A = this chain, B = another copy of it.
Amino acid sequence: MSQSINIALIGATGSVGEALVELLEEREFPVKELHLLASSESAGQSLSFRGRQVRVRSLDAFDFSQVQLAFFAAGSEVTKACHERALAAGCSLIDMSAALPLAQAPCVLPELGREGLPVLKAPFQVSAPTPSAVACALVLTALRPVVQPHQLQLTAMLSMSTLGRSGVQELARQTAELLNGRPLEPKGVDRQVAFNLLAQVGGVDEQGHAELEKRLAAELPQLLELPDLSVSATCALVPVFFGDSLALSVQCDSPVDVTAAQQALEAATGIELVEAGDYPTAVGDAVGQDQVYVGRVRAGVSDPRQLNLWIASDNVRKGAALNAVQIAELLIKHYL
C-alpha cells in the first residue's frame, strides 16, 4: 500500500458515509484526494477528514476520471444510475447498496482470510455484502471446521439505521410523539415502528420475498463457497436505533458438537463469544465495535443436527463501513 489514490465517496452525508470517512482516517488508508459526494440537496455540508473540513459536492456534475476508486454508499437507485458513468471514466467501484447482480459485481469479505479474490481488471466493480451477511459469514467461517451447513434459517431483526439516518430519526420522533400522547403520522415507513415490529423491509416480489432477503440468500453461498447452501431469511425492522440482532439456525447432516462449536468461536479473531448463560445485545455489546458478538450457542431442542446462535453486530460501522474499507485495502494491494 505504498501508492496513494484518489477516492470518491457517494452518499457522504449518510451514517454509513460518515463512518467510512472516519475509518479511512483511522486506518490510515492511502488517500491522496477525497471527493465527498451526495445528492444536490445534501451538497454544501462539510465533513472533517485528517484535520480539515472537506466540502460535500453534488454527484451530478462529478467527473469520475479524477478518481481511481469510488465507494457507492447511497441508495441502490443512485448506484444503478451512476455506476456506468464511473466505469466509463475508468473508475473502479465498491457497491455498498446491493444494487448490482453478484455475477457482475462479486461479493468480497476480506476478513474471511481468503486471498481468493475474483480475477479483476481495473476498472472493476465489486459488492460489499449486506451487514447481516457479513456477520453470518464471519461466524459460519469460524465454525467451518466443526459445522458443515446445508441449510440456514435466519431471522434478521434489523435496526432502523438500516434505512439510513432518516430511519433513526423516525424512530426517535415516533417514540417521542407516542410518549407525549400525540397522534402518529409515520414518515418514511408505512406505519408505527416505535414499540412495534415491521415484518418486512421495503416491498416484496410476486413470490413474497423482499430484495434484502433474496440478496442474503445469494450472498451467503458465494461468500461461504457453498453454492448448494439453502438460505431462507426473514428480515424485519425493529425499534432499535443501531445494531442488528440475528437468530441463526444452521442445519447440518449429522449431530453438531456444540462444545467444539463454542471452542471454534472462542478461538476466532473478529468474533466475541459471550459466556454460556449470557447473551449479546446490539446496544450493550455490538454497537461501536469491530467484533461480531455471538451467544446462545446450542443444538436444536429436538434436533441434534441443528446449531442455533444469536448474533449481534454493528450494521453501520462493522457491517458496512469497515468491510468496505477492508475491501479497498485488499484491492489497492492487488489491483490499483
Chain A contact residues, CB within 8 Å of chain B:
151, 153, 155, 157, 171, 175-176, 179, 191-192, 195-200, 203-204, 207-209, 213-214, 217, 230-234, 236, 238-241, 245, 247, 249, 258, 276-277, 279-284, 295-303, 306, 308, 310, 312
Contacts and interface: CB of A to CB of B under 8 A. Distances in A.
B281 A196 contact: yes
A213 B301 contact: yes
Given A179-B179, A239-B240, A279 B198 contact: yes
Contacts of A232: 249, 300-303, 306, 308
Contacts of A157: 157, 197, 236, 238
A252 to B, nearest CB: 13
A284 B230 CA distance: 33
A281 B199 contact: yes
Contacts of A196: 240, 281-284
A196 to B, nearest CB: 4
Contacts of A276: 204, 208
Main secondary structure of the interface of A (DSSP, over half): mixed
B303 A151 contact: yes
A171 to B, nearest CB: 8
18 contacts: A157-B236, A157-B238, A171-B195, A175-B179, A192-B284, A195-B240, A195-B241, A196-B240, A196-B282, A198-B281, A199-B295, A199-B312, A200-B310, A208-B299, A214-B301, A230-B303, A232-B300, A239-B240
Contacts of A233: 301
A230 B234 CA distance: 20
Given A179-B176, A238-B238, A239-B239, A191 B299 contact: no
Given A196-B281, A231-B301, A236-B245, 8 more contacts: A195-B240, A196-B282, A197-B281, A198-B281, A204-B276, A208-B258, A230-B300, A234-B310
Contacts of A171: 195
Contact of A207 (B247, B279, B298, B312): B298
A239 B159 CA distance: 12
Given A175-B175, A214-B301, A199 B241 contact: no
